[in-house]
Structure 1
Amino acid sequence: MSDIAVDLDRLAEWSAGQGLTLRKPLSANRIGMGQSNLTYLVTDADGTRVVVRRPPRGTLLQSAHDVGREFRIMSALQDTPVPVPTTIGTAQPGEIEDDVPVVVMGFTEGLVLNEPGDTDGVPLDVRHAIGIDMARTLAKVHAVDLQQVGLDDLASHSPYGPRQLKRWTTQLEGSRTRDLPELDRLTQVLQANVPSDDTITLVHGDFHLRNVILDPDTGAVRAAVDWELSTLGDPLADLGSLLAYWPQRGDGPSYLFDAAAEPGFPSRDELTAAYLEASGRDGATVPFWHALGLWKIAVIIEGVRKRAMDNPSNAAKGGPPPAQMVDLLVQRAWRVVDEAGLRA
């Protein structure tokens, strides 16, 4: 089986119908570190580049890997202050791939921090600016007028915390590889401490260093990518997710991408302050959302491990994450819960 899960000849034919000429032969390379949807940089014979995204191979969990939905979100954001890639089109099943939809978007040039060493040569002031602008970009996401951009019906407007806990608990039960008593006990604590605030905005759902394309000179966010988990919900959930993905000195090992722990990058407290200043929101419930963010990443990683066990071709470069990653994320979440005094 080919490592490239996109029919490049059919892609060229489909693109012509979208007003985009891709001259054969096309080449493709898998990009990014995501282990959910598969993302490829496709280059034609003239050097034109596009990004192609499709669901993973194998059996998919219900509602997961909906590339068409994330394409709709990015399309709706084209004329807003939220930086996103240029959208080109969605190919329905049978047009490029027989069994799944495929989405195509423009290539955004910029700095991508994916692997250890990618920060080499990035000045300390630019590193700091990256974190601060990411926090401010989140505030832009949460300021989007849902009705104006046509996303008011994207998801339920019911309280977000219970929805998240229900969704990801269900996902865990469909992708569990082993007994996880500490994760299950953490679920109970989170269920007992759901905030009562019912603020509803657009949320990205998976906002972190690997999901942004940056200006290498200023650190500004040129594009936020990977909107697969985007929905309507509490804006502080996005901040909690960013904090969960933002290691800092003193955290100990986590198997997460640890670039943010290097000199120059702002601390989690600085990120929080920058976001609250830009958004004007109150941060009282941030610890809950931080803990829930860590809990959700642990559930996602367990699902990644299950998909890689079922079909090794779904694993990104370097293979699937180790079981210890889930355990360490749960331990970090417990530290946040204990420091905040949250109890079941």
Structure 2
Amino acid sequence: MPETAKVDIAEANKGAGKVRVAFDEAALAGWMAANVEGFAGPLTVDQFNGGQSNPTYRLSTPGQRYVLRRKPPGQLVKGAHDVLREARVQQGLAGSAVPVARIFAVCEDEGVIGSPFYVMDMVEGRIIWDAAFTEVPKAERAAYFDEMNRVIAALHSVDHVAAGLGDYGKPGNYFARQIGRWSRQYLEDELAGRLPDMDALVEWLPTAIPEGDETTIVHGDFRCDNMIFHPTEPRVLAVLDWELSTLGHPLADFAYHAMMYRMPADIVAGLGGADPVPLGLPTEAEYIAAYCARTGRDGIPNWDFYLAFNFFRLAAIFHGIKGRVERGTATNAQARERAQALPRIVALAREAMEKCR
């Protein structure tokens, strides 16, 4: 999954350390003095342990802390590591009901530190890594879920054209394009092998796309651990990790988020099918109803199609990771674990497909 600049107060110091991807810090300080409102050095730079996809740094001054996200230096695959795109969507959402970090400045000039970058506010708060919110008192957990629900509903209610994001992706036919893309990736990676259930999904999904089309801004990876919460309140201060954001279908985005109810906790933050009520959490049906109330929907027909699509998409991603493991080109330490989890993700996709049928 995409790396982010996720930081909480407790982790801020131990999560950042020696700069591994170095650059001219004096040049950055000079650029910030000219382009970042209120900047005053001296500047200290540390690199976060995460952010392997896009190197991410903590910038500290006597009066302010910032986060810098940059493209990796060197030759890159076209369209990859587009940090300026991340900055653009957060700038477009500034002032909306969707909490995002303030973007102070964007630099497209590779001559400053060797690649394009942007500087944003370092939001102080906490990350909830466990979808059951076990570190939160039971009586407060439902409020945290309601806040996540509010934020994703607010995102899908933003007028993307008015926000200057009318060309942020291709409008319309989202499911057909996505199913085609991930089916091709799955079918072309012969070394990773074929799975009968994936073959069945490749055949069935294009025939089951619900009628009606919608286009909104979608986050693409909306999970509890991609948000910074207030240190003590059930309030999201900033949504992070906009690497997969685009224009797409809101129900695809919401269903990806709601997969937490069925997602095994050891794969991606999820409840693994556990009964949410004893945990102090809303049921899946209650969570869907809250989203529908906020977005003016009268329920979500074909709900299991949206789940099947998202589990299929995730399975295709994990299938690609398995292929890289088999070829010996996987660099992430979790790659083998992801590859081993593939059968369980495919089984969840098949289960949703059968319910939809």
Q: TM-score, normalised by structure 1?
A: 0.82
Name stretches of at least 5 consecutive residues in structure 2 with no aligned partner. 1-17
Shift of 1:159: 1.7
C-alpha contact (below 8 Å) 2:87/2:106 kept by paired residues: yes
Moved over 4 A (4+): 55-62, 170-177, 251-254, 259-262, 302-309
C-alpha contact (below 8 Å) 1:4/1:30 kept by paired residues: no
Which secondary structure state, in structure 2, belongs to the residue aligned with residue 105 of structure 1? strand
C-alpha contact (below 8 Å) 1:291/1:333 kept by paired residues: yes
C-alpha contact (below 8 Å) 1:254/1:328 kept by paired residues: no
Aligned to 1:30: 49
Shift of 1:90: 2.6
Of the three residues 249, 257, 265, the one matched with 2:269 is 257
Moved more, 67-76 or 256-265: 256-265
Aligned to 1:5: 21
Which secondary structure state, in structure 2, belongs to the residue aligned with residue 156 of structure 1? coil
User: Matched residues in 2 for 1:320 and 1:90: separation?
Assistant: 36
Aligned residues with identical type, % of pairs: 29
C-alpha contact (below 8 Å) 1:26/1:45 kept by paired residues: no
C-alpha contact (below 8 Å) 2:308/2:353 kept by paired residues: yes
> For 1:65-100, what per-residue CA distance to the aligned partner results, in whole angstroms no more than 9, with x for missing partners?
3221121111001011111111123333624553x4
Which secondary structure state, in structure 2, belongs to the residue aligned with residue 103 of structure 1? strand
C-alpha contact (below 8 Å) 2:56/2:67 kept by paired residues: yes
**Aligned positions of 1:224-263 closer than 5 A:** 224-244=239-259, 246-247=260-261, 255-258=267-270, 263=279
**Aligned positions of 1:174-193 closer than 5 A:** 178-181=192-195, 182-193=197-208
User: Matched residues in 2 for 1:332 and 1:128: separation?
Assistant: 25
Of the three residues 182, 188, 205, the one matched with 1:168 is 182
Of the three residues 92, 110, 113, the one matched with 2:128 is 113
> For 1:287-329, what per-residue CA distance to the aligned partner results, in whole angstroms no more than 9, with x for missing partners?
21111111222233445566785363xx37x666431222211
Shift of 1:193: 0.9
Shift of 1:283: 0.5
Which secondary structure state, in structure 2, belongs to the residue aligned with residue 310 of structure 1? coil
Shift of 1:228: 1.5
Kindly indicate whether residue 203 of structure 2 is the aligned counterpart of residue 203 of structure 1.
no
Aligned to 1:221: 236
Q: Determine which structure has more spread, i.e. the larger CA radius of gyration.
A: 2
- Equivalent AA in structure 2 for residue 331 of structure 1: A
User: Matched residues in 2 for 1:305 and 1:102: separation?
Assistant: 31
Which secondary structure state, in structure 2, belongs to the residue aligned with residue 194 of structure 1? coil
Aligned to 1:53: 69
Of the three residues 159, 162, 167, the one matched with 1:148 is 162
Shift of 1:199: 1.5
Aligned to 1:288: 305
C-alpha contact (below 8 Å) 2:264/2:271 kept by paired residues: no
Which secondary structure state, in structure 2, belongs to the residue aligned with residue 149 of structure 1? coil
Which secondary structure state, in structure 1, belongs to the residue aligned with residue 29 of structure 2? helix
Aligned to 2:8: none
Shift of 1:185: 3.0
Shift of 1:63: 3.2
**Gap change, CA 1:266 and 1:64, over 3 Å in 2:** farther
User: Matched residues in 1 for 2:64 and 2:318: separation?
Assistant: 34
C-alpha contact (below 8 Å) 1:82/1:137 kept by paired residues: yes
User: Matched residues in 1 for 2:167 and 2:270: separation?
Assistant: 36
Name stretches of at least 5 consecutive residues in structure 1 with no aligned partner. none
Shift of 1:201: 1.5
- Equivalent AA in structure 1 for residue 47 of structure 2: A
Moved more, 267-276 or 57-66: 57-66
Kindly indicate whether residue 136 of structure 2 is the aligned counterpart of residue 136 of structure 1.
no
**Aligned positions of 1:260-275 closer than 5 A:** 263-275=279-291
Shift of 1:112: 0.3
Which secondary structure state, in structure 2, belongs to the residue aligned with residue 240 of structure 1? helix
Shift of 1:124: 1.4
Of the three residues 332, 343, 349, the one matched with 1:327 is 343
Structure possessing the higher relative contact order (Cα contacts under 8 Å, 6 or more residues apart): 1
Moved more, 254-263 or 215-224: 254-263
C-alpha contact (below 8 Å) 2:24/2:113 kept by paired residues: no
Q: Root-mean-square deviation (CA), in Å?
A: 3.2
